[in-house]
Amino acid sequence: MKALIVSLKFHPGHVSHMIASYNQCEELGYESVFYADQNFVNYLPKDSRIVINGQTVSPKVDLAIFLFPSQNNLKLIWQMKRIGTKVVYIFHEPLAPMIEYRKAGFSYKYLAKLWIINKISSLTVKWSDIIILPSMKAVEFYEKNPLYKNDNYHNLPLMYDDERQEGHTFMPRTYFSYIGTVAADHSFQEYLDFVCWAIRENRLPDLKFMLCTKSVFEVPKELDRNPRVVIHQGKPMSNEEINTYYASTYVVWNAYARTTQSGVLAKSFMFGTPALVLKKNINEFAQDGVEIKAIEDNFNKEEIAASVEVIMKDFNRYSENCRKQFLQSFYYRKYNNEFASLIK
């Protein structure tokens, strides 16, 4: 049996999911093959089987797992269905009501783009055999959207391999970090404003701040070349670089204005790194005072500082709880049997 692990739009943050699905299918008796954008080649394991998007696919594929949205998915799904392939779509972000995106700060131009994406997603959903939704909030949005017309949907969390290596275990913790794409609903500006304030007021003096993103942003003058601030921006990061950033972080920023489920949260838990989360966004994978600290308002700098201090004073307990939650909720082997039953 052959399984195709599909990601047609390059994003280094997708690599962990791709590897987990590849390994899971191998363990379930499939010969796994990545079918991916050319740019993924240097990010994927050297000994893996890879077919570049546009190259000929084997005439016999039993299972195709589409991991991320792309307008190019539709053509490939159509090809797969014509040869009898079972198609699974892991639908990370069913569209929430448009008012939520507007409240999060997105422009009307971006809302129009979301409307187009929603139309494409609805076709992807319709043509797929099985839809997997990674959280209860994703299930809620899916069920409320009248365009999503596929009743064969299931809730299965985001899945990862355990990428924490021995060297990561002993890496010194130094930072309160922002890791990921700069986006309005990720509240990047609120994080940046907090860092400027903390530097100016000399708050959290034992911490440094790290901003890691392939996006490009204008660095405030007061942060430029400041010894307490480390910035990685403007180029895709390797998976190993990303992992190193998580492993050297005390607290990761996850106080997003809006989120369905967060890969940043799962990945931080993988490395035993607690997160700061907006209280309204707490989901089934985290508990305030256990793996995360929840705040009411990501504009409130005193509340943010106090919450980070709470985590640092009890870091070992928070960190151990994060690792337990990762293994319980996000490690792919936990779901091998459940996934096997879905694709029978």
Over residues 297-314, the pLDDT tens digits come to 999 999 999 999 999 999
Q: Residue 57 maps to which CATH number?
A: 3.40.50.2000
User: Does 184 lie in the same domain as 145?
Assistant: no
Q: For residue 295, which amino acid is it? A: I
Closest CA to 250 of 193, 322, 185: 322
276 in the same domain as 244: yes
Asked if residue 276 and residue 185 are part of one domain, the reply reads yes
Q: Which residues pair with 336 in a beta bridge?
A: none
Q: What is the pLDDT of residue 99?
A: 67
Q: Do 117 and 261 fall within a single domain?
A: no
CB 309 within 8 A of CB 3: no
Record the pTM.
Answer: 0.90
Q: Domain limits at 97?
A: 2-161+331-342
Same domain, 6 and 27: yes
Q: Are residues 155 and 170 in the same domain?
A: no
- 193 and 97 fall within a common domain: no
302 and 322 belong to one structural domain: yes
Residue 343 CB neighbour total at 10 angstroms = 16
- Do 148 and 294 have their domain in common? no
- Tell me what pLDDT residue 196 has: 97
Report helix, strand or coil for 90.
strand
Radius of gyration of the chain (CA): 20
Same domain, 182 and 283: yes
66-116 pLDDT tens trace = 998 888 999 999 999 999 999 999 998 887 766 676 676 677 777 777 778
Strand order in the sheet with 229-233: 229-233, 208-213, 175-179, 249-254, 275-278, 292-295
pLDDT attached to residue 183: 82
pLDDT (tens place) for every residue of the chain, 344 residues total: 999 999 999 988 889 999 999 999 999 999 999 999 999 999 999 999 999 998 888 778 999 999 988 889 999 999 999 999 999 999 988 877 666 766 766 777 777 777 787 888 899 999 999 999 999 989 999 998 888 999 999 999 999 999 998 778 888 999 999 998 898 789 999 999 999 999 999 999 999 999 999 999 999 999 998 999 999 999 888 889 999 999 999 999 999 987 777 789 999 999 999 999 999 989 999 999 999 999 999 999 999 999 999 999 999 999 999 999 999 999 999 999 999 999 98
Does residue 74 contact residue 124 with C-beta atoms inside 8 Å? yes
pLDDT at 112: 77
The H helix count followed by the E strand count for the chain is 12, 13
Do 335 and 324 lie in a common domain? no
Number of domains composing the chain: 2
Same domain flag for 40 and 176: no
Residues 6+ apart with CB under 8 A from 216: 233, 234
How do 86-90 and 63-66 pair as beta strands? parallel
